[in-house]
Amino acid sequence: MASTYTPLGIELMATGENAGTWGTKTNNNLNLISELTGGFSQVSIAGGAQTTALTVDDGATTGTAQRRVIEFTGTITGNQIVTIPLDVETFYILRNSTTGSFTVQFKYASGSGSTVTFATTDKGDKLIVAKADDGTNPNIVEIALGLTSIVEDTSPQLGGDLDMNGQDIVTTSNANIDLNPNGSGVVNLVANATRAGTIRFTEDTDDGSNYLDLKAGAMSSNLAFTLPTADGTSGQAITTNGSGALSFADAGIGTGKAIAMAIVFG
């Protein structure tokens, strides 16, 4: 009876087979187990959109799917697919070190089972489990590394500037947004020689033509309020001059219209 092999290539020697070579084959199996449990390899997937098949070499340590940690490398110019054989059951630590803004999908060689994908900007690590839970449509799932949501961090801190990336800070359930400096800290509206510090109040459904601006001129002590006119066009200004006097722009706010100003202490 001939030897057989596990899905990851370990040789299972039959009784009476391989006379005189058991020592060599056993050592080879041990080397393969070492690679399967803690081995590392780099696999280049450079190029345009393509599928790269990781392999299992029976009885050898040369298969590209026979490592615990696999790092994908190379410059990619199209979306990539990396596959493993249908019967592989293990877990991998994957690192995407490619350059190029394209996806890298990790999946079984065929079937409609679940897959794991590195997004176009995801040049990080993933812990994934190849479940081999179906002969035709096995699943690959990702095990979350660290926090999956910022709400899980009860004392979050920024390590650098927060880039809003075109998004807004919003609340739910009518909650306020509080800026609450510690101790003697203050909330600064920063301006420089080319940029005036401005706080703009608009309606969330407004088209941008109606607004209230609180503006400090670039690195000056003057404060300006810009109010929309009666017809909703370019605003009228309420400013303080260098001596601290408060002045209003021309009476374009509208005949018979009143201006109310309230100072509210929280």
Taking the domains of the chain in order of start, what are their residue ranges?
4-143, 188-251
Given a contact cutoff of 8 angstroms between Cβ atoms, the answer to whether 67 and 90 are in contact is no
Model pTM above 0.95: no
Cβ-based neighbour number of residue 31 at 10 Å? 13
Cβ-based neighbour number of residue 216 at 10 Å? 18
Q: What is residue 122's predicted lDDT score, i.e. its pLDDT?
A: 93
Greatest CA separation for the chain: 109
Supply the Cα-derived Rg of the chain in whole angstroms. Answer: 32
**Blockwise average pLDDT, block size 10, the chain, 266 residues:** 90 88 92 95 98 96 96 98 97 97 97 96 95 97 77 80 88 90 83 68 63 56 55 56 52 48 45
For residue 199, the cross-strand partners are 214
Q: What is residue 162's predicted lDDT score, i.e. its pLDDT?
A: 87
